[in-house]
Structure 1
Amino acid sequence: MKNQTLALATCALFLAGCSSVSDSNYNPLNWFDGDSSDQQLEPEEGYVTVTDPRNLIADVRELRIEPTQGGVVVAAMGMPPTQGYYRADLISPTNNIPENGTLTLEFRAAKPPTQQPVSTEVSREVWVAYFLSSIELRNIRQIRVVGANNSRTKSKR
């Protein structure tokens, strides 16, 4: 009987101490309830907006849409002003969400760090490809690839 009384007194003392510190982690009422206050994970300074430092390719010369298993491959050929352009990609500024049925892709490539010769057009050709799944194609009627001086548009097949 003494053991039960002692255990009951200890529990009562422990719980009485928790009631005075209602926000404490030692309070059993706070263990599974979670925090009711709104928490934001956004940084105080806001999110950093990262812009692509690569330039738009000068001219888009060719655009192909090739059907594949589960979608299409958009292939484009661009012509930079000189040789040496690298890290070329098709970038979707709208995260593959079409505007009025048209998906716009920007043809971007990094400029060479040093002066490069102009040379022949064949030596300057830059090819890129971009995969679009069947799910992404549901609301797309046209695909447009944009360069600095022009753009090419094709209807999906």
Structure 2
Amino acid sequence: MTKLTAPLLIATMVLVGCGRLGDSNWNPLSWGSAPARSLEPEGGYAQVSDDRPDIPQITSARWEPLNEGRLLVVNGFAPVRGYSSVALVTARPMPGDRISPDADGVLRLRLVGLPPVQGSAALPARPGVDEITAAMSLSSVQLSRIVAVEITSASNVVTLRR
């Protein structure tokens, strides 16, 4: 009986190392250098920066309550009418639609938009009437990591505390 104990114990250890616990140090196939596993796609995440120019001036910024979070509403002003594709974008490129603050807890955004086409009859904008408005919704989970929001335009910066 004692003659069978040692070979059975060794065989059991070899089978355990090659079985379900294939990532263990007992598996002879894992003794080489295996690449680290990652969920990042091959070639990394696509980080596309937005090349639209900043809106000339931010006139106001405020929080509006939502059921699950808040809505950040930013108003801007330009000297001429006709800005299109106005949006709030992150100052540094982020993968997908993920929004996260910097290490200091400040979410840095830019108010951007496409100016009217050169050569078109650009009408002057009227203050208080021809405002440019953009909004971004932030969930409660996203807001829990944010201390402040800093919105940048071409001429000024507005900071909102949470």
Regarding TM over 0.5, the answer is yes
Give the alignment partner of residue 127 of structure 2, picking from 121, 145, 154.
121
TM-score (norm 1): 0.65
| Max Rg structure | 1
Distance of aligned partners of 1:139 and 1:56 in 2 relative to their CA distance in 1, 3 Å threshold: same
TM-score (norm 2): 0.64
Give the alignment partner of residue 57 of structure 2, picking from 56, 59, 70.
59
Q: Distance in 2 between the 1:47 and 1:136 partners?
A: 20
Give the alignment partner of residue 97 of structure 1, picking from 95, 100, 105.
100
Q: Distance in 2 between the 1:138 and 1:48 partners?
A: 26
Q: Distance in 2 between the 1:82 and 1:121 partners?
A: 10
Q: Distance in 2 between the 1:53 and 1:111 partners?
A: 12
Q: 1:120: Cα distance to partner?
A: 1.4
Q: Percent identity?
A: 26
Is residue 2:152 matched to residue 1:146?
Answer: yes
Equivalent residues of 1:83, 1:117 under 8 A apart: yes
Q: Distance in 2 between the 1:69 and 1:134 partners?
A: 9
Equivalent residues of 2:149, 2:160 under 8 A apart: yes
109-118 vs 129-138, which moves further = 109-118
Which amino acid in the other structure matches residue 139 of structure 1? R
> Counterpart in 2 of 1:85?
83
- Residue aligned with 1:128, SS: strand
> Counterpart in 2 of 1:22?
none
- Residue aligned with 2:87, SS: strand
- Residue aligned with 2:128, SS: helix
Distance of aligned partners of 1:61 and 1:147 in 2 relative to their CA distance in 1, 3 Å threshold: same
Question: What stretches of structure 1 of length at least 5 have no aligned partner?
Answer: 1-36
Q: 1:49: Cα distance to partner?
A: 5.5
Distance of aligned partners of 1:81 and 1:119 in 2 relative to their CA distance in 1, 3 Å threshold: closer
Q: Distance in 2 between the 1:141 and 1:48 partners?
A: 27
Which amino acid in the other structure matches residue 50 of structure 2? D
Q: Distance in 2 between the 1:117 and 1:78 partners?
A: 17
Question: What stretches of structure 2 of length at least 5 have no aligned partner?
Answer: 1-33, 36-40
The two structures, once aligned, show a CA RMSD in angstroms of 2.7
Q: Distance in 2 between the 1:89 and 1:130 partners?
A: 8
Distance of aligned partners of 1:48 and 1:71 in 2 relative to their CA distance in 1, 3 Å threshold: closer
Which amino acid in the other structure matches residue 56 of structure 2? A
